[in-house]
Structures are given as structure tokens and as C-alpha cells.
Amino acid sequence: MSDLLRVLIGRWRDDPGSTYRTWFLWEERLKNFRSIRRGIAQIVAEIEAGTFGNVYKGSSLETIVASIAEQRQIFKGADHAFLWKPKLRIPDIYENQANQQAFGRLLHHCSCCSTEKEIIVGIETIDRLGIKGLGPAVANLLYFLHPTVMPPFNTAIVNGFNAVTGSKVKLGRWDQYLAMRAGMLRLNQNYRDLLSNDLGAIAGFLFDVGCGRFSAPPVLGDNLALDAWLAELSKTREAAKKFEGSIAADREGDRTHTEVQAWLRDLGRALDYEVWIAANDRGRIHDGRMLGAGCLNCLPNSLERMPGAESIRLIDVLWIDPDGARVMAAFEVEHTTSIYSGIIRMLDLALSGLHATDGLFLVAPDAREGEVRAQLQRPAFSRVRDLQVRYLPYGELQKNRDAIARFGTGIKGVQAISRLL
């Protein structure tokens, strides 16, 4: 089995439509870790202060879970377990104050601890309370706190694990999740050279097996089954056409995102600003050259020393005054995903005091303006509305960027084609 599983993992890594290629190696994935961690901290703070409320809709939990659920196929449906189902009274953390506080303590405990043993103690503590509807789906939050210790969890991952190992792990129970986690760690160790220290890789592999993109190897000794499996494996690309529509849409979104960053890069340089491209986007290719070509290789020292520098480095595009090392404009490009991650990075920049107060822009398709305005009305964004963030539609930027580059000065031209949110 081990040799066959190694063959399968190798095929999975090489498949351009696998979660390894479309999610695990996706540049945006790592950008979301810090913002999701900040969001979890906000949930904890609201629960501790008694301001979290008693509904899911519009809560900080809805915002952060939605931002997780939008991360490609592997987290699709991650919000289902947290949706308030009043007839069933689940999950019982909205109207039961004690359960809500226990949930907050779990998140706080796991945010602060650093060892595997401490995290498991926190899980076992909440499990003993038997909170109705609050099960291992919470592991999708914990993954973003401890990606090398806590794997993601959903039905497809469980199905894939059972198919690969012959186990009978069940959904909805913490003890079953912990048993699966132990098995995933063993698999990850055995095939570490093909996977990663980040458990998202092994979870992605099991997800693709569990949702039918790949089939698990047959039991050794069954030569007919082995031949059939190898034949099926060789035809995976043909059998997976049902996945290709969403994969193509995701890749088109990546290309559009990179193209808009390139527009902003070129416009900023034409206006005589130093330009910073997000640290994990610099190597993307646009029109045959790297996106970061001709841009700053490091942030000015004043920004590098700030507590939020790790987040600021991931802002899509910064225009920096070459004389005063001050950020004159910051742009977050939000093609299809939630604005949450970008807003958190904007907030870190705003708290630094080293940016122009009227130079924060969300850049998105023209049709998303209503959706973005609606998201900003959520209580979770109450602190953000004072930042004077502006909405810059793709269409206005595409239509006016050449004229602004030729005749504009400063950021006035970009302000003129954007709207205050």
C-alpha cells in the first residue's frame, strides 16, 4: 500500500486541478492567516466583553467563517456548522451565555498556547461540556492558529481518510476528529517529502480523494483491482472535467487580480512614487515579467519597525513618498473574495500613523460595490468605517489610468474616480 500511496500522492501533486496546485500553493492562502487570526481575537474580545450578541448573522464570527469558506474548494461549506438553526437550537453558543463564553475560552486558549498537548487539553475541555452542535468544524478556525498541529476538517476529508486508511471515522465528534488527526500526522510523517509541515497539504490530498477526484489504492494482493486502479489513475484528467469550470474561474480571478496590481504599479511609478508589491505576489508573472520588477525590495525602516509590519507587507500595492517614506496610497484588490483580509491589513497600516488619511482604496469589479458596502455595514467592521476607505472600480481605473499617468499629480486623480465607502 505504501508504494501505491506514494504514487497517488505524486500524481495528486502534479495534477494542475488538485487542491495542492489550486489552493495549497495559491499565493492568497498565506495572506489570509494573519487576518483570520486577528478576526479570531476579535471574536474572543467581543465574547469577553459581552458584546458578541445572540445571533450569527452580522456577527464577527460570521465574517471570519465566511472569509474561510471563500478559500477555494477545500473550505466550501465551512460556514454550515456555525449557521444558527433556531428550531434545533444549534450550535448552542448564541443564546446560551455560558456556552458562548466556553467557546470564547477555547479560542483564547488555543490562540495563546504553543504546544500540541495544550491545544488538545483545550479541545477535551470543551468536549466534556457537550455543547450541542459545536463539534470538530471548529478545527477549521484552529487550523489558522496552528497549521502544523491542527488539520482542517470536513466531510470530504473524513471520507478521504477512511478510504486511504480503511478507518471508520465518524463526523461530528471531537474524539473521532482527534483520532483522525493522529492518523493524518502519521501519514504526513511517512510521506513528508511529498507533503508539508503545514497540515493543509495532507488535508487537501484527503479532500480530493474524499470528493472523488482520485480513488484510494486497492488492497495489496488483488491484481485485478490494482490494474483497474492504475488504469483509472492514468485517466484522472478525463474523469475530473466536472471540476474544471470552477478551477478555470479561480485561475481567471488570479490573472485579473495580478493585472490590476500591474495597472496600479505602473500608475504609481508614473506619478513618481516608490511602489511596493505584496511580498508574496512579487514573483507573479504579468506580460512576461515579474510583478515586483522595478519596485521596492523592502519596506522603509519606519514601516518595518511597526508592530503590524508583517501584515502591511501583504497589502497588494503601496505608493510610498520617496522623500518622507510615508504611504501615500494603499490598494487592496478584491476580485471575488471577502474584503475582510484586506480591511484588516488596512487597519494595521492605519494604526501605524504612517499613511495619508485619505489614501486607502478597495479596488474591485464595478458590480461588487453594493456587496462591499453591505459587508462594511456589519457590526464587525464598526471600527473600520472611520478609516475613510474609498471604492475604486476596475472600470474607472482601466478607463482613466493612462490620463492620470500623463496629467495627474499625487493621488488626486485616483480619488476623483473613486467613491467614499
Residue whose C-alpha is closest to residue 98's, from 54, 45, 142: 54
Report pLDDT for 421: 79
- Provide the pLDDT confidence category of residue 226 given band limits of 50, 70 and 90: low
**8 A C-beta contact, residue 135 and residue 80:** no
pLDDT of 249 strictly over 70: no
pLDDT of 225 strictly over 70: no
Residue 352: phi and psi, rounded to 5, are -70, -25
**8 A C-beta contact, residue 333 and residue 370:** no
What SS3 state is found at 169?
A: coil
DSSP 60-125: HHHHHHHHHHTSTGGGTTTTGGGS-BTTTTBSTTSS-HHHHHHHHHHHHHHHH--SHHHHHHHHHH
- Condensed to tens digits (0 to 9), the pLDDT of residues 401-419 reads 999 999 888 899 999 999 9
**8 A C-beta contact, residue 286 and residue 258:** yes
- Condensed to tens digits (0 to 9), the pLDDT of residues 343-355 reads 878 887 887 776 7
Q: Which residues neighbour 160 within 8 Å (Cβ) at sequence distance 6 or greater?
A: 205, 206, 207, 208, 209, 210, 211, 216
Report pLDDT for 158: 95
- Condensed to tens digits (0 to 9), the pLDDT of residues 317-341 reads 999 998 867 899 999 998 766 677 7
Exposure string over 145-160, b if 16+ CB within 10 A, otherwise e = bbbebbbbbbebbbbb
0.85 cut: is pTM over it?
Answer: no
Q: Which residues neighbour 17 within 8 Å (Cβ) at sequence distance 6 or greater?
A: 213, 237, 240, 243, 244, 247
Q: What are the cell numbers at 76?
A: 466550501
Looking at mean pLDDT, say which of 19-23, 53-57, 253-257, 329-333 comes out highest: 329-333
Q: What mean pLDDT is predicted for residues 298-309?
A: 83
Report pLDDT for 228: 65
Indicate the helix (H) or strand (E) that contains 332.
Answer: strand 327-333
- Condensed to tens digits (0 to 9), the pLDDT of residues 188-200 reads 999 999 999 999 9
> Percent of the chain scored above 70 by pLDDT?
88
How does the average pLDDT of the chain come out, rounded?
86
- Condensed to tens digits (0 to 9), the pLDDT of residues 113-141 reads 989 999 999 999 999 999 999 999 999 99
Q: Is 243 left (phi over 0), alpha (psi -120 to 50) or beta?
A: alpha
